[in-house]
Chain A
């Protein structure tokens, strides 16, 4: 069994924690010979009253014990004592959190709860973030149990949820609160320009679509220059062609990466998306034409030991 050997940093941390209470330094030479494991009885500070009592031994007057002052302990720890009782458990801070939450749960178990679906959506820490937060390697399973606790506390009816619970819960929220901002759908901007992106293979296209007369500029050049093949041109404008809108809009495209096929099909997707902003009713037509269907395939990476992504070298006898 591994012996627990706190290092200097841990001791220093414990020291810092104990600063709240006065701590008497133990000087080795003054130490009593008797060995105490947990506590050491501190002799009463010699008071001015006590001295004459000791000297007046023959009086034998019986006096009641003084009232116990609970604010001030009679006994003080003789050695460094961990602040948390879970110190030797391996992940004490995590357990402290769990205990705290369990305590709260028990305390407010009687409060009414809302169904799980109606509880306010909270962005709890991801596991990695939580590990950073507590500084301990928390296992997945244990973190899940903590999340369960948090979700149960979160289900306390929002109107009457005590402040204590709310603050305790809020510690575990991701910064930035991702669920706070609502998803705003893209729209045609004030200049009548719809902007949309499309990707295919390694190409990325950004399209700005305005109402016009069917003029197309790709990277500031004519589409004929960019796509000498007729097929590529037809592909790039497929979203407008299939909906018969080619003479209704002007297209301005920025496209980069990949080859001509990828660029043409990236433009298709981008134009399809931009067209949906102008005319949302065209969605079923565009969907059927395949103009807004994302092709997420990318080139598979080459693996070691393979000639290509999957191809193996030819088998050789010797």
Chain B
């Protein structure tokens, strides 16, 4: 140890350790004494984000977790219109289904053959494009489970075929007649397919087929509309819908329309030449939607013409009968989604397109002068309730049952029910004039047992049903389908179900 005395001068040395305070007892001074910056200007310490002390006044203390970000879907969404195209896609053939041997085609001979009642007749392959063009097929009608599209020749179809035969036949009493029918029936009873059969028969007989496949599209507000100038009360034209109608008609009936020449004078159509065929005439409305309504009127005038206008006799041919089908009639008996100038709803009968087709139902004036058929079907799957239509149909039923419109039993709208007088006016009885038949109501029901058997055998022959089809089995299906409702039969035919027969208790054999 060092001596506390200086060896040179013998004076006591100062011990610095004793003077300096110990580091344990005093706090360290962090700031340098020679800095002139004030301590408060130093950077504040970073706050701890997760501490609970961060909560603000009156903030809840519940556990809060970070929300997970939704995983981004990397797959590209389907292109615009693709989903709808998938939904509306119509598949008419299934290569997995067996081909039915000896299946007959619908033809002018088979469609009136009573012996074929209950059998399924294939639609001619050459006609499928025409039927597609008039949108006679609808999705979910079960076309895609068979090798080729076919329809049952039920009683109603046979009667329909006979009507076609009569109207385009040679009998002067029946030729050129106009048949008007409203087709109703329970859900799945085959109303739309009945229209399809009518269209197919029309094509077979070389008629002109004009269809409105969905009445809803005209009143749902999805197609353009514009008021007609000078009309009072205001009426509206739907150029795009009319253009689509012309397109359907041209595509489906091109062969017939090509063979017919323009025979009347039509004001307002400057591009029209006297040498044009009716197909060319109809195509005028395809390019320019604004022209479509006058073009349709011109086409209608040509189709209903019985003789050429003076000066245009060159090459006039008599016009074929016309078939008009409309599906989903009740949409035309309620209000539309269109608005008038005063923001009130447009009445469907103020749309000239709708009004044109509805006016054909009246039999007091000649409408289809070359004969034809008007089939307007109601729908049950897309069916707005229309009280006035119900009353109108009830009145038709009563008239067909022989109830006089003056009798107290004749159905009338209830008081304060606010029934639409314009709709009721449509169903008022009109006398048949000349060849114009009165409006009839046809109710489609179920198939008979024999027809059911034929229909289910078709399933079995296509390889869909693996059952021994006998009378008992068929009548069981007939009862389960609510009396042969064909839509239900189709469901039963395509679904595999448990066998109903239980093992009977049998005595033991030893």
Q: Which of B476, B482, B483, B488 contacts A241 (CB 8 A)?
A: B476
Interface flags for A267-297 (1: CB within 8 Å of B; 0: not) read: 0000000000000000011001100000000
CB-defined contacts of A288 to chain B, threshold 8 Å: 502, 505
- Chain A residue nearest to B488 in the complex (CB): A224
Cα A224 to Cα B188 with chains together (Å):
10
Interface of B is mostly: loop
Contact yes or no, B505 A224, CB < 8 A:
no
Given the known interface contacts A222-B186, A230-B491, the answer about A237 and B480 at a Cβ–Cβ threshold of 8 Å is yes
CB-defined contacts of A242 to chain B, threshold 8 Å: 500-502
Contact yes or no, A215 B186, CB < 8 A:
no
Query: Is residue B481 within 8 Å, beta carbon to beta carbon, of the partner chain?
Result: yes
Q: Which of A224, A247, A289 contacts B482 (CB 8 A)?
A: A224
CB distance from A141 to the nearest CB of B (A): 50
Given the known interface contacts A224-B186, A242-B500, the answer about A230 and B505 at a Cβ–Cβ threshold of 8 Å is no
CB distance from B449 to the nearest CB of A (A): 9
Query: Is residue A216 within 8 Å, beta carbon to beta carbon, of the partner chain?
Result: yes
Contact yes or no, B479 A215, CB < 8 A:
yes
Query: Is residue B478 within 8 Å, beta carbon to beta carbon, of the partner chain?
Result: yes
Query: Is residue A223 within 8 Å, beta carbon to beta carbon, of the partner chain?
Result: yes
Query: Is residue A246 within 8 Å, beta carbon to beta carbon, of the partner chain?
Result: yes
Query: Is residue A214 within 8 Å, beta carbon to beta carbon, of the partner chain?
Result: yes
CB-defined contacts of A216 to chain B, threshold 8 Å: 479, 482
Interface flags for A228-239 (1: CB within 8 Å of B; 0: not) read: 001001100110
- Chain A residue nearest to B472 in the complex (CB): A244
Query: Is residue B73 within 8 Å, beta carbon to beta carbon, of the partner chain?
Result: no
Q: Which of A214, A230, A289 contacts B475 (CB 8 A)?
A: A214
Contact yes or no, A225 B501, CB < 8 A:
no
By CB atoms of chain A within 10 A, which of B186, B475, B497, B500 has the most?
B500
Contact yes or no, A225 B497, CB < 8 A:
no
CB distance from B450 to the nearest CB of A (A): 13
Given the known interface contacts A223-B482, A246-B479, A285-B502, the answer about A230 and B497 at a Cβ–Cβ threshold of 8 Å is yes
Query: Is residue B212 within 8 Å, beta carbon to beta carbon, of the partner chain?
Result: no
Cα A242 to Cα B501 with chains together (Å):
5
* Number of interface residues, chain A, beta carbon within 8 A: 23
CB-defined contacts of A247 to chain B, threshold 8 Å: 471-472, 475-476, 478-479
On chain B, which size bracket covers the interface?
A: 20 to 34
Interface flags for A192-233 (1: CB within 8 Å of B; 0: not) read: 000000000000000000000111100000111100001001
- Chain A residue nearest to B485 in the complex (CB): A224
CB-defined contacts of B504 to chain A, threshold 8 Å: 285
Contact yes or no, B491 A246, CB < 8 A:
no
Query: Is residue B495 within 8 Å, beta carbon to beta carbon, of the partner chain?
Result: yes
Contact yes or no, B480 A233, CB < 8 A:
yes
Query: Is residue B403 within 8 Å, beta carbon to beta carbon, of the partner chain?
Result: no
Contact yes or no, A289 B502, CB < 8 A:
yes
CB-defined contacts of B478 to chain A, threshold 8 Å: 214, 247
- Chain A residue nearest to B186 in the complex (CB): A222
Contact yes or no, B505 A241, CB < 8 A:
no
Interface flags for A117-151 (1: CB within 8 Å of B; 0: not) read: 00000000000000000000000000000000000
- Chain A residue nearest to B474 in the complex (CB): A247
- Chain B residue nearest to A242 in the complex (CB): B502
Query: Is residue B91 within 8 Å, beta carbon to beta carbon, of the partner chain?
Result: no
- Chain B residue nearest to A247 in the complex (CB): B475
- Chain A residue nearest to B487 in the complex (CB): A224
CB distance from A263 to the nearest CB of B (A): 16
Contact yes or no, B480 A234, CB < 8 A:
yes
CB distance from B262 to the nearest CB of A (A): 51
Query: Is residue B492 within 8 Å, beta carbon to beta carbon, of the partner chain?
Result: yes
CB distance from A286 to the nearest CB of B (A): 10
Contact yes or no, B479 A214, CB < 8 A:
yes
Cα A212 to Cα B328 with chains together (Å):
36
- Chain A residue nearest to B492 in the complex (CB): A230
Q: Give the top 9 A-B pairs by smallest Cβ distance, nearest first.
A: A224-B482, A247-B475, A214-B479, A241-B500, A222-B482, A246-B476, A246-B479, A242-B502, A223-B482
Which residues of B are at the interface with A, using a C-beta cutoff of 8 A? 186-188, 471-472, 475-476, 478-483, 485, 488, 491-492, 495, 497, 500-502, 504-505
Starting from the known contacts A225-B186, A244-B500, A246-B476, 14 additional A-B residue pairs (CB-CB under 8 Å) come to A214-B475, A216-B482, A222-B483, A222-B485, A224-B186, A224-B188, A230-B480, A233-B480, A234-B480, A237-B480, A238-B500, A241-B476, A246-B479, A288-B502
Which residues of A are at the interface with B, using a C-beta cutoff of 8 A? 213-216, 222-225, 230, 233-234, 237-238, 240-242, 244, 246-247, 284-285, 288-289
Jot down 29 A-B pairs with beta carbons below 8 A, ordered by A: A213-B475, A214-B475, A214-B476, A216-B479, A216-B482, A222-B186, A223-B482, A224-B187, A224-B482, A224-B488, A230-B488, A230-B492, A234-B497, A237-B479, A238-B500, A241-B476, A242-B500, A242-B501, A246-B472, A246-B476, A246-B479, A247-B471, A247-B475, A247-B479, A284-B505, A285-B505, A288-B502, A288-B505, A289-B502
